[in-house]
Structure 1
């Protein structure tokens, strides 16, 4: 895909130092309709990700290349891992959050809040106490492209927490337009949440009057969200995001991956030739950035290190 200089656009000189001199953006897999939700399995050297409209979860390794991990897959979107290494997934068609253990055991963790069915869980993170936090916009129910068209039973798009002891689904934020990607700061004192309200849905254009930013919400007592502020705005919309071990924020966007400080200063971006939906750090030392473009998976080496539990 070209030399580092052709894909790394630095607005601050520090950003150029985040990549080895010989780093290249590589297309490592292609042939998807809407690639999403990358998650890295270090112990087996495997990247898994969703191809939502094709209703499948894919798996890729450097040695073995690409394979189908699961199909059908309930139009799965975002993934992360819990403290036992199991894959936690957001399912559009199932309108649920699920767990797949390393031995293949599958279970549904959440389907409803206060007796009402979830919209279409989108992205998910796990906190160090084992609690599972996820966003629930309507993208899987506004059309049949990424799920099954349906009316929202809840009537709003919220952020939720699954209690690790009781399994109860708790509402933690209800003032988002369309909450999307999310990640904790390294010390878990802040939860970053992207609001992609500007995008009305796949194929439905944009509405400039609606949010296209990332917010930082303080975490109170480890289980509630307090004060909130906008960290950064992203052209078109932000989607998936990750934090590295120095609390820099890496945000997917229409024109690539943008990197921000916690104060909202944009340091630069990685240019990608397709709209970017999500990203994750992986590789043996979590320094390789894997990027979900629309129809392809890209990778580039960095000098950064992804947070252990993004």
Structure 2
């Protein structure tokens, strides 16, 4: 795939400051960064290592040793850590103890009726406590690249975006028309949901209008990734969408126009706003964790929901 001709112009306009800094390296395949503000730490996953790592100013440490090949992480209700797990094909929540260590684990979703989920991948918690998550087949069968964890057949007829239901077998489908739903992110006002279709068939971000009860309408193509496929996403306080991709992070204005590109030397899997002023952008990229400063703070960083 050809690279965009306006790359230099985009980089000059990027709402990022300074150079990209490598914070940790030598890992296997990292994903799912989540900022834990009250402990000043970032949690992120190393999928094939089956570990959730903790990074803070003192360096890197293991936070959870048996993470069930977790991939996507986010902050949930009452400050719990939400985790998408490959080997259990479940969405779970971890308590975070007062000292910042890992606490009890609870399963939130594991199937649709009597059929197990595909391979929970990315997750967000809304302001009213609703949990939305994606369920592509990347951890259940060999398709479109290397897989981590295990391989089993899909039991569901498709790949969906779900909202958690009252029981572990009762999530309900909110989006059913994306081929391979992966990363997802809400605009700061929660009126728009962005979902990445991480497939060579489409490699695009789709936007939806959010209605009452988290009903999704008016799907439209928001952005097509110039290099690689779109993966994890975040928004800044101005509503600009930061999208991880094949050669870095692409930044789009709320109207979909390109604003910039932050070059990263490895394929980017996800990102998160954090730090004391929410202007540190933490980037997970294959074997390393990176950081770059943003001109605008994050719009939906991982604070402690009530």
TM-score by length of 1: 0.88
Q: CA deviation at 1:222?
A: 3.5
| CA–CA separation in structure 2 for the residues paired with 1:224 and 1:42 | 30
In 2, Cα distance between equivalents of 1:108 and 1:166 = 9
Match of 2:84 among 87, 90, 103: 90
Q: Is the 8 A contact 2:16 2:262 kept in 1?
A: no
How far the C-alpha of 1:145 sits from its partner, in A, is: 3.7
Matches within 5 A, 1:294-309: 294-309=286-301
Find the aligned partners of 2:38 and 2:65 in 1 and give their Cα distance.
23
Where does 1:131-210 land on structure 2 (aligned, <5 Å)? Answer: 131-143=130-142, 145-163=147-165, 168-198=170-200, 210=201
Give the deviation of 1:83 after TM superposition: 3.3
Residue 220 (structure 1) aligned with residue 211 (structure 2): yes
- In structure 2, the residue matched to 1:206 is none
User: Is 1:76 aligned to residue 78 of structure 2?
Assistant: no
Q: How many angstroms does 1:13 deviate by?
A: 5.3
Superposed CA deviations along residues 14-41 of structure 1, whole A, max 9, x for unmatched, are 42xx334xx2211101111111000001
Q: Distance in 1 between matches of 2:23 and 2:61?
A: 13
Give the match for residue 100 of structure 2. Answer: none
Query: What is aligned with 2:20?
Result: 25
Q: 1:41 aligns with which of 36, 42, 45?
A: 36
Q: 1:9 to 1:277 in 2, by over 3 A?
A: farther
Question: Does the CA-based 8 Å contact 2:234-2:300 persist in structure 1?
Answer: no
Partner of 2:228: 236
TM-score (norm 2): 0.89
**Residue in 2 aligned with 1:293?**
285
Asked if residue 55 in structure 1 is aligned to residue 50 in structure 2, the reply is yes
- Structure 2: how far apart are the matches of 1:184 and 1:196? 17
Within 2, Cα distance between the matches of 1:166 and 1:196?
29
Q: In the alignment, is the contact (CA less than 8 A) between 2:192 and 2:210 conserved in 1?
A: yes
Task: Decide whether the 8 Å contact of 1:53 with 1:145 is kept in 2.
Answer: no
| Aligned residue pair count | 286
- Which consecutive residues of structure 2, in runs of 5 or more, have no partner in the other structure? 1-6, 98-102
1:110 alignment counterpart: 109
| Distance of 2:16 and 2:218 partners within structure 1 | 34
Contact 1:10 / 1:269 at 8 angstroms: preserved in 2?
no
- How far residue 61 of structure 1 moved from its aligned partner, in angstroms, is 0.6
**1:231–1:262 CA contact under 8 A, matched in 2:** no
Q: Per chain length, whose mean CA-contact separation is higher, i.e. which structure has more relative contact order (CA < 8 Å, sep 6+)?
A: 2
Q: CA-atom RMSD, angstroms? A: 1.7
Q: Give SS of 1:217's match.
A: strand
Runs of 4+ in 1 over 6 A off after TM superposition: none
Equivalent in 255, 264, 267 of residue 275 of structure 1: 267
